[in-house]
Amino acid sequence: MPVIIAVTVAEDFSACQAATIYILKGLKELFRENEYRTQYCNAVTENDIGKKVRAAGWVENIRDHGGIMFVDLRDHYGVVQVVFHNEKLLEGIHKECAVSIAGTVLKRDESTYNDKIETGTVEIEAEEVRILGKVTEQLPFEVATSRETREDVRLKYRYLDLRNKKMHDNIVLRSKIISFLRNKMSSMGFLELQTPILSTSSPEGARDYLIPSRKHHGKFYALPQAPQIFKQIYMVSGFDKYFQIAPCFRDEDARADRSPGEFYQLDFEMSFATQEDVFAVAEEVLSATFSEFSDKQVSPAPFRRITYKEAMLTYGSDKPDLRNPLVIKELSDLFVDSDFKPFSNKTVRGIRVPGMAKQSKTFFKSMEDFAVQEVGMKGLGYFKVEPGENGMFKYNGPIDKFLNDDQRKELATRCELQEGDVLYFIADTKKNAPKFAGQIRTEVAKRMNLIDESRFELCFIVDFPMYELDEETGKIIFTHNPFSMPQGGLDALLNKDPLDILAYQYDIVCNGVELSSGAVRNHDLDIMIKAFEIAGYTEEDVASKFGALYNAFKFGAPPHAGMAPGVDRMIMLLTGEESIHRVPAALQCAGSAPRRAYRGYRAAAPRGSHQGSQADVIFRIALRENLSVLPFSIDIFRFLCYTDIITNKIKRFER
């Protein structure tokens, strides 16, 4: 078969150099026959009928049909049925054995066709069997149904779990998506660059993984939580467009949308770029990726821009699922002088649910239980909208008796109430009410089947607050990335209330999942110093903790901006998995766990324990020199106290 190549054509020569060459789909893979197989399992076709073939793989299933035995043979590419007329050939063979089977290809009886597999019209009549890999113990679970097994057991036998077709396909899809992302970014003129793995501590909000040095006792490297500082320095170094499929390491607990330990992100940064420049790149890349690997409808570019303030008011979350048609209404002003104690001097939000009035008492009771037991609310008020007299509505529910006529009329107008609706009320503190309302919005939509599963809805959340108050200390702290540019620049930092300052920070959200955060970076040293000063850092602190950026910004730093969509989260959405743990970034299994003697070193170092700065590390971006020089050191006694490592573990480690 001739090789057909498609070349991306660009308008100028420089772009042509970065053009991606794609081998068209449908080309036959390179295959070389050997003693184990003459073709892949999925390549046995009707063209092979009457031919001698050899296939290799794992025994997926063994079926006894009264003296005639059937085996489903599975390899990486597919499944083929093998028929055994001689049972002796199956001696010593069990499920999940690795075998090589030689035989003649036969046409299957039409009544036995299997349209679920590519080879469903043919089978191999076994003449010779070689056992290549024995199964010597009872399987801990059936591979075909491994996803129904407890996750701790699946992780212990990860190599078996990944033989499951769905899990196997997830890994294959992951590889294809990463390849697609690389090609896409390269075709857009981005240069793939790497950043150090052994690094200093990174201010990403999670605990670091620390790597003890053999040569320099008592000193440690940190694994990067993100390549944040390094990619910014690439921009200062004169590179225009950077990207990386970047590994990130954070010592944090697992969640449905968060991998513990390690994950990957499509990290990119651009010089002389604005927020909208970043959005344009993200829109093109994500639209192309989700369209390429899914049949679902993808929201067209430009994606919606929603301010953080609007998102929290309307959806009760800064990562709203726009497939959910329910919206939240601000009702606090209607109850300022209310005698109803739960609403008095509280932030009150309402959610109109169309057509919900017909639900049973059990339904409403279960929602109340959810609000109290799982959300942590004190209660969940509501009323049903029913027909009344003189064209007016009648409200039926526990809240109605606390309302006056003016409130009833205003609620009908503001919430656009219709007959058959239910209006839920959420009342709590200014901080809690939006969050609680968002959780109720999501849960009601799920129970009412209001979420459209046939599409991907993407949007940008913009205008995050630069600062917030720490609940415990009452001090002003950064809300998001501390290296973001404040809107209004230095003037805003000097003259505005810090809690009123917005930043050029943004997230991209898909179906209620945060895919990425990003920002227009602060590249001005004066702004950087003032921004950190407001958060309680002196210039000496900045120079010490973030020395690489501090020094680099003295030498003509360009405006730059970027973001980093999470690869694992993208794959989770594209595969339809509810948990990110089913699209593993690595072959995580029991053998991947840290050795016991090392376990204590996985905690973060105490603040202020760093000696030196990141300045010495930056040279390793290109030169990789002097790797034995530790980027920071830790007072060993403070560290032991912090991590609660007992003496014998330390002695064991040092031996």
What pLDDT was estimated at residue 545?
Answer: 85
Tabulate helix, strand, coil % of the chain (nearest 5): 35, 25, 40
pLDDT score of 636: 36
Q: How confident is the model at residue 1 (pLDDT cuts 50, 70, 90)?
A: very low
> Is beta strand 241-250 parallel, antiparallel or unpaired with respect to 98-107?
unpaired
Mapped onto helix, strand or coil, the DSSP state of residue 25 is coil
241-256: average pLDDT: 83
Q: What is the mean pLDDT of residues 582-587?
A: 59
pLDDT value at residue 627: 31
Mean pLDDT score across all residues of the chain:
84
Q: What is the pLDDT of residue 405?
A: 87
Helix (H, G, I), strand (E, B), or coil: what is residue 365? helix
Looking at residue 390, what is its pLDDT? 67
| Residue 161 Ramachandran class (φ > 0 left, ψ -120 to 50 alpha, else beta) | alpha
What pLDDT was estimated at residue 391?
Answer: 64
What are the DSSP calls for 164-178, one per residue?
SHHHHHHHHHHHHHH
| pLDDT at res. 9 | 39
Distances (CA, A) of 620 to 265, 300, 412, 477, 632: 21, 41, 64, 31, 15
Give the whole-angstrom CA distance, residue 154 versus residue 579.
14
Residue 105: phi and psi, rounded to 5, are -80, 130
**For the chain, percent of residues with pLDDT exceeding 90:** 67
Task: Reply yes or no on whether the pLDDT at 24 is more than 60.
Answer: no
pLDDT at residue number 29 = 57
Range with the poorest average pLDDT among 25-39, 53-67, 214-228, 558-572 = 25-39
Residue 372 has pLDDT above 60, yes or no: yes
CA-to-CA distance for 506 and 520, rounded, in angstroms?
9
> Can you tell me the distance from the alpha carbon of 583 to that of 591, in angstroms, rounded to the nearest whole number?
19
In this model, does residue 640 exceed pLDDT 70?
no
Contacts of 88 (CB under 8 A, 6+ apart): none
Lowest mean pLDDT among 61-70, 110-119, 224-233, 631-640: 631-640
Predicted pLDDT at 603:
36
Percent of the chain with pLDDT over 70: 82
Nearest to 426, CA basis, from 443, 405, 441, 445: 441
- pLDDT at site 612: 34
pLDDT band at 94; cut points 50, 70, 90: very high
Contact 202, 231 (CB under 8 A): no
Q: Which amino acid is at 590?
A: A
- The count of residues in the chain is 655
**What are residue 80's DSSP bridge partners?**
73
pLDDT at 67: 83
Tokens coding 517: 């955060």
Q: Collapsing DSSP states into helix, strand and coil, what is residue 413?
A: helix
Q: How sure is the predictor about 226, in pLDDT bands with cuts at 50, 70 and 90?
A: confident
The confidence score (pLDDT) of residue 615 equals 33
The one-letter amino acid code at 618 reads I
> Does residue 635 carry a pLDDT above 70?
no
- Radius of gyration from C-alpha coordinates of the chain: 30
What is the tens place of the pLDDT at every residue in 533-560? 999 999 999 998 888 899 999 999 999 9
β-bridge pairing 122-133 and 98-107:
antiparallel
60, pLDDT greater than 80: yes
| Local structure of residue 140 (DSSP, 8 states) | S
Among all chains, which residue has been given the structure tokens 């097994």?
Answer: 149
pLDDT band at 186 (very low <50, low <70, confident <90, very high): very high
* Residue 513 Rama label (left phi>0; alpha psi -120 to 50; beta): beta
CA 174 to chain centre: 13
- DSSP SS3 for 81: strand
- CA–CA dist 304, 315 (Å, integer): 14
- How many whole angstroms separate alpha carbon 233 and alpha carbon 231? 5
| Contact between residue 590 and residue 262 where contact means Cβ atoms under 8 Å apart | no
Is a pLDDT exceeding 70 seen at residue 651?
no
Higher per-residue confidence, 115 vs 31: 115
With CA atoms as reference, report the closest residue to 511 among 590, 569, 433. Answer: 569
Q: What's the confidence (pLDDT) of residue 22?
A: 33
> If we measure between CA atoms, which residue out of 222, 225, 207, 203 comes closest to residue 603?
207
pLDDT tens-digit readout, 304-336: 999 999 999 999 999 999 999 999 999 999 998
**β partners of residue 502:** 465
Give the pLDDT confidence score for residue 262 in this predicted structure.
85
Q: 330: which strand partners?
A: 349
Question: What is the pLDDT averaged over residues 365-382?
Answer: 95
pLDDT tens digits, 252-299: 766 555 566 788 999 999 999 999 999 999 999 999 999 999 999 999
Report the C-alpha gap between 365 and 236 in whole angstroms: 59
**Cβ proximity of 36 and 100 under 8 Å:** yes
Q: What pLDDT does residue 338 have?
A: 81
